[in-house]
Amino acid sequence: MASDITSRRVPWVALALSFLSPGVGHLYCGRIAKGLPLYFAWLLVPICITIAALLPPSPTSLVLLVLLPVVIVLIVYLYAAIDAWRLARRIGSDYSLRDYNRTAIYWLLIVVQMIYSIGLIVGVRGFVYEAYLVPASSMSPTILSGDRILVRKLLPQRHFPERGDLIVFRNPTSSKATAFVKRVVAVAGDHVEIHGERVLVNGKELERDRVPDESLKPLGEQVSGRVTYEVNSGHRYLVAYGDSSDGGRAKGDFEATVPERQVFVLGDNRDRSKDSRDFGPIHLGDIVGYVEYIYWPSESWSRFGVANDRLP
Amino acid sequence: MTEKRYEQWLAECREVAPPVTLADRIMNQVTKMERQRRDFWWLRLLQRIEQSRAARWAVCGGALAVGGSPFVFLAHVAQFVTF
């Protein structure tokens, strides 16, 4: 409700309030109907990202529901600041104070928004998607060194990894890395044998296909050695062998049966990967999530999108 | 009729002499308000900031730094900024 007391609206105060929290500058200028949607704009990010996690992965979902909401919130933030400043300039000294024109209310709104916006980001990272920067080439050619990936954590209640899935799990070694990304090659109860470059799961050798040269172009200079397609339970993905750069070397033969509630993982760059051949199978409880998107590829942008190689 | 009553009311009002202390009371109130104004440190600060363009820029810059921190945190979570 407007009171009889008039007050001047100071443009730089409106700008500062809006910088602190979009929408509060509008409240300062008496535009509550416009201020509140701007104030709650941050909610767009978790809502859209959660919807993206519930939908089948696609580049459209990544762009429209994951990246675009963040850009929109940034634009809203800048727009709110400029608009509040212009509004205060236009109003000048001809302003009747409203009930909510109190310093305490402004500060309360600013603090609440700080907490809720950062809380939403923490919540999304903890329960929906977590982003990782991959610093090593052990998953090359699928994930190159420098790629930024999105790992989905929001999963159905009784979801178990399948052969061919890309997973991120807590580092089981004493090295500094917090997590590893690898490919599930065998699940609980499977018998895995590795003889040279041949991988056998339950006695059946995984199929190999030749890779057309043009498919390797987007991988740039980062791939060395022999690259082939490997097919495992409906997934077809690239694997590299013989990459002896940076101390990489072929590993000896290996044979194991995967225990209950564990999975056997391998890096796609087979001769430059520390994986279940070194530290054994991974317990399901150590899995952080499933790699779904490459949202910032280190090489060609043609690799932007879904890191899903399930065969149609 | 209404106009006549209004004229009458106006004439009555004009006849009433203001209390002799009215001017003093008003002046006291103004002085008190001015003193209250000076007592609010933040009001004095606000006035100083308003007088200086550099101070206004500094305040808005500080507000941008604080208010933009969720975006910096988001960039950190997205692995674009490390700290």
- pTM, two decimals, is 0.82
* Rounded-to-integer distance, Cα B8 and Cα A210, Å: 108
Q: What is the predicted ipTM? A: 0.87
- A12 vs B56: CB contact, 8 Å cut-off? yes
- B63 vs A15: CB contact, 8 Å cut-off? yes
Contacts 24+ apart (CB under 8 A), A62-71: A62/A150, A62/A293, A62/A295, A62/A305, A62/A306, A66/A129, A66/A150, A66/A293, A66/A295, A67/A295, A69/A44, A69/A45, A70/A45, A70/B74
| Residues of chain A neighbouring B67 (CB-CB closer than 8 A) | 18-22, 77, 110
Residue A101 sits in the same domain as residue A184: no
Residue A27 sits in the same domain as residue A84: yes
Residue A240 sits in the same domain as residue A97: no
Q: Is residue A250 part of a domain?
A: yes
Residue with token string 């999304």: A124
Residue that is last in its domain, among A104, A127, A150 = A127
Q: Is residue A311 part of a domain?
A: no
Average pLDDT for chain A:
89
pLDDT digits (tens, 9 = 90+) for A228-274: 999 998 889 989 887 666 555 566 788 999 999 999 999 999 888 89
Nearest CA in chain B to A132: B79
* Sign, CA torsion B69/B75/B81/B83: positive
Write out the residue range of the structural domain in which residue A30 sits. Answer: 2-127
Residue A71 sits in the same domain as residue A174: no
Residue that is last in its domain, among A127, A145, A166 = A127
Q: How far is B7 from chain A (nearest CA, A)?
A: 27
Q: Closest by alpha carbon to A282, among A173, A207, A202?
A: A173
Q: Is residue A223 part of a domain?
A: yes
Residue A105 sits in the same domain as residue A10: yes
Q: How far is B28 from chain A (nearest CA, A)?
A: 20
Residue A112 sits in the same domain as residue A164: no
Angle among Cα A24, A30, A33 to the nearest 5 degrees reads 75
pLDDT digits (tens, 9 = 90+) for A26-75: 999 999 999 999 999 999 999 999 999 999 999 999 999 999 999 999 99
Report the residue of B74, B81, B82, B83 to disrupt the A interface, i.e. the one with the largest count of A CBs within 10 Å: B74
Tally of domains in chain A: 2
Peptide bond into A141 cis (omega under 30): yes
